[in-house]
Every structure is written in C-alpha cells, then in structure tokens.
C-alpha cells in the first residue's frame, strides 16, 4: 500500500524538523511538505495532496481553526489531526466543530502520535485523553456554558467597557455582587479574565455585536 502522505503545519521550524525526523523513520509514513501557517497549508494542499495534515492551532496570520474551516469548505479529502500544546475548551471545541478529525497534544508519546496519524488516515476520530475527558465533562454538565440572564447583563456591560463599579451602578447592585457574577462567568466559559470572557462570549454567540 502507498504510504500515508503527511503535511506538517507549525510555525516553529524546530518542531517541524523534529516531526519530520520522527515520521521519516516509519516506512508507511511520508512527510510531503511543511507549512508555517494556515495560509501556506491552503496553498500547498491541492498540490501535495496529503492524506493527513498535522495542524498546530495558534499560528501567525491564518490560524489552525480558520485553515480547518477553509479546508472543510473546499471539501478537501485530507484529514486534519490537530497537534498543539493547548487543550482548553476554547481551543478544542472550535477545532472539532471546524472539522478536525482528531486532537492531540504535543507532549503525546511517540507511539501515541504514530497511532493517531494512522487512525486519522482511516477517518477515525482521535482525541488526547485530557481532551476526551473535557468533552465527556461537557456532556455530563450540559448547562456549563449557559449564563443566567443576570450574568449576560453583567457581561454585556463589561463588553461595553463598564468597570465593576459602573456595572454595579447600572444594575443597582454592589461592586462585590458584580465580582461574584464575573467569577461564575469565568468558570462557565473556562476563562481567566474579563477580556477572554468577552471574546469567548462573542465567539459562541452568547453576545451579539451592537449595531447602533
């Protein structure tokens, strides 16, 4: 059988070199190209015709998720196996929703990575244990991302630039109450600060841009 054709997409040359060296030792795997960002992936995919794309997520310019989305829109037959250092919900969910076949972390042992590539080439879903655990937790707690009406009011004001004190005045509650709401919001959205909470809320459609 023909070897599995692999395109490596990562903005760090050292990572690409390491992967090329490791995969090149396998007789059934063939690295056919490298890309430093998502835009380069989209330029190369039709020419190189990879079976599997090892895709980092956070790259300059066109990131991994946008590239995965574009490949899906093109109906590219290449399977995308995300290979990244990030396993938070805000990274995992968009990548899988965009069309990634699998999601693996860069600290995965060599045998696990090789198995994942071969499984992805067969069209099988491959998930790192920590990623699978997160998804199971989400399924068991389906209301995890659901913000209450009051939490949405608070987050809307924060998105408009209000301070905790200003939001409290607008909602006729204390600043301490606003802080408590924000703690709950951070937990539900799996973020650590106000800016990230607003960004994730817009990304997931919990907040809508103002049109006035």
Q: How many domains is the chain partitioned into structurally?
A: 2
**Cβ contacts of 126 within 8 Å, gap of 6 or more:** 81, 101, 102, 103, 104, 115, 116, 119, 120
**Whole-number pLDDT of residue 142:** 43
Shared domain for 158 and 61, answered yes or no, is no
Shared domain for 55 and 153, answered yes or no, is no
**Whole-number pLDDT of residue 36:** 94
Shared domain for 52 and 100, answered yes or no, is yes
* C-alpha distance from residue 124 to each of 101, 116, 121, 129 (Å): 7, 9, 7, 15
pLDDT digits (tens), the chain, 212 positions: 799 999 999 999 999 999 999 999 999 999 999 999 999 999 999 999 999 999 999 999 899 999 999 999 999 999 999 999 988 777 888 888 889 999 999 999 999 999 999 999 998 888 888 788 767 665 555 444 578 889 999 999 999 999 999 999 999 999 999 999 999 999 888 888 999 899 888 888 888 776 55
Which of 17, 6, 12 has the alpha carbon at shortest distance from 37? Answer: 12
pLDDT tens digits for range 145-199: 578 889 999 999 999 999 999 999 999 999 999 999 999 999 888 888 999 899 8
**Whole-number pLDDT of residue 88:** 78
Q: How far apart are CA 206 and CA 24, in angstroms?
A: 45
Domain containing 13 — which CATH number?
3.40.50.2300
Examine residue 144 and state whether it is found in any structural domain, yes or no: no
**Whole-number pLDDT of residue 143:** 43
Examine residue 210 and state whether it is found in any structural domain, yes or no: no
Query: Which of 139, 161, 188 lies at the terminal end of a domain, its last residue?
Result: 139
Examine residue 76 and state whether it is found in any structural domain, yes or no: yes
1 three-state secondary structure: coil
Query: Which of 88, 109, 139 lies at the terminal end of a domain, its last residue?
Result: 139
**Whole-number pLDDT of residue 191:** 87
Domain containing 193 — which CATH number?
1.10.10.10
Shared domain for 130 and 190, answered yes or no, is no
Query: Can you give the residue range of the structural domain that contains 156?
Result: 149-203
Examine residue 183 and state whether it is found in any structural domain, yes or no: yes
Residue 29 forms beta bridges with which residues? 4
Query: Which of 109, 139, 169 lies at the terminal end of a domain, its last residue?
Result: 139
Shared domain for 85 and 34, answered yes or no, is yes
Shared domain for 82 and 134, answered yes or no, is yes
Strand order in the sheet with 79-84: 29-35, 4-9, 52-55, 79-84, 102-105, 126-127
Shared domain for 133 and 156, answered yes or no, is no
Phi-psi region of 50 (alpha: psi -120 to 50; beta: other; left: phi over 0): beta
The string of DSSP letters for 147-160 reads: PPHHHHHHHHHHHT
Q: How far apart are CA 123 and CA 68, in angstroms?
A: 15
**Whole-number pLDDT of residue 136:** 64
Examine residue 99 and state whether it is found in any structural domain, yes or no: yes
Shared domain for 102 and 176, answered yes or no, is no
């Amino acid at each position: 059988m023909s070897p599995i054709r692999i395109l490596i997409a990562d903005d760090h040359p050292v990572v690409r070199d390491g992967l090329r060296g490791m995969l090149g030792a396998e007789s059934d795997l063939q690295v056919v190209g490298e890309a430093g960002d998502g835009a380069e992936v989209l330029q190369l995919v039709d020419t190189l015709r990879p079976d599997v794309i090892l895709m980092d997520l956070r790259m300059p310019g066109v990131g991994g998720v946008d590239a995965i989305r574009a490949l899906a829109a093109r109906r590219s037959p290449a399977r995308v196996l995300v290979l990244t250092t990030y396993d938070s919900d805000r990274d995992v969910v968009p990548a899988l929703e965009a069309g990634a076949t699998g999601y693996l972390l860069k600290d995965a042992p060599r045998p696990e990575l090789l198995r994942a590539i071969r499984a992805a080439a067969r069209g099988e879903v491959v998930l790192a244990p920590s990623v699978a655990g997160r998804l199971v937790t989400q399924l068991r707690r389906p209301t995890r991302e659901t913000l209450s009406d009051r939490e949405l009011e608070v987050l809307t004001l924060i998105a408009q630039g209000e301070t905790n004190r200003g939001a409290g005045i607008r909602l006729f509650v204390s600043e301490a109450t606003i802080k408590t709401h924000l703690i709950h919001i951070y937990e539900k959205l799996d973020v650590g600060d106000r800016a990230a909470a607003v960004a994730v809320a817009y990304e997931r459609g919990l907040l809508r841009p103002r049109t006035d």
